[in-house]
Structure 1
Amino acid sequence: MDEQFWSDHKAQNDTSQEACLLNIITEYNTIMYDKLACLTFSLGGEVYIQELITSAHPQRCLEVFSIDLKIFLTLSSWLEDNIILKQSRNHFSIHQKLAIFLQIVGKRNSNWDLQETFQYLGATISLVFYEVLATLLILHKKTITLPNASEPLDSRIADDTKYFLYFENWLRALDGTHLLAHLPSVIVPLYRNRKGWLSQNVLGVCRMDLM
């Protein structure tokens, strides 16, 4: 009696394990091999960007890129002429790459938002972002004149023991401020600051003799 019971129990247990294993295999196969295509829009990001650049209203370009179209095109050309950023073999243009980067940093769009807009996989979007970021980090070396470390320290600091203690390696003074802005009505919302008035955020750097 006991032997028969345990024999039947083992048979039922084996059957349950086989059924469970079969369900796992079926689910894995569905996930890995029977995928439903997600990014199916045939035109893709290149058509979208070209239409935006060639025929869109300037305000629309400003909303999408967070910068003026003329600046966008100038920056694209500069990157192509001076830096290693080039069009990819799969016709991934510099305009597309720069647009993806600007939508992430300027509009705070998510990776998924950009997958839907440009019809590329998330890994590709991330790769493009870091490619443009690495490229732009080279930009300041070619466009900004940094202070010379050998420049003598201003006498107002060097001869004052109070200030010298804190500003021994001082080169320039740097600060940001908001300047009152007068703008066309179509772009007013873009320049309204957190205090409610219109302004342009400006970062200023100056030498001691200009202070």
Structure 2
Amino acid sequence: MSNDQSPIHHTKTIYLIRHGETDFNRQGVVQGSGVDSSLNALGQAQAEAFFQAYQHLNFDKVYTSVLQRTHQSVKKFLERGHAWEQHEGLNEISWGVREGKIPNSRDNEYYKILIDSWIEGKTDMPSEGGESPEDVVARQKPVFELILSRPEEQLILVAMHGRAIRILLTHLLERPLHEMDTFDHANLCLYKLIYDYKTSKFSVELACDVSHLEGISE
């Protein structure tokens, strides 16, 4: 047998989920990092369905944002005693002064111009009173540097938010930040990521997977 053997912890598997539905999601209210909404009945059912599908996995650690909709989405795993950390760096983007409101036609036009600007490459442009995608990825990077510095945590669950996930995936997959909207998301969707410590690269095994939600009615 060759002495050139692979290290025991040469990969890390990350189950990255978006939180379940909230009433604000359903109503079209802008949430962002400044609105700490709870899951509604459907969101709770989505969280339960995800738990039923993946309860056989023994996660070494659960990571969430500091917002309760992510905590509630992984509640059943936490109740089983999985180690848990919450990090503000995993919070949703701050949408600024328009958070907590249903957008009117003027707001919708504002958001269209803002997101179009990001797609055009102006990812340093913040929302009014809020953050830019570059602000968000700057606070995400230290959290994932911490996560990757713990190779003993081979299997982890991370619960985050829609826009924040799009931004994070561009960073992890070494894609330009302006391509963030090429990543789909849905409430309680799953991205399964594999990190290879030898190559320092991520690969995607599942993208925006919602197969665990089949049979849940809206």
Q: Output the TM-score relative to the length of structure 1.
A: 0.25
Q: Output the TM-score relative to the length of structure 2.
A: 0.24
Q: Greater strand share, 1 or 2?
A: 2
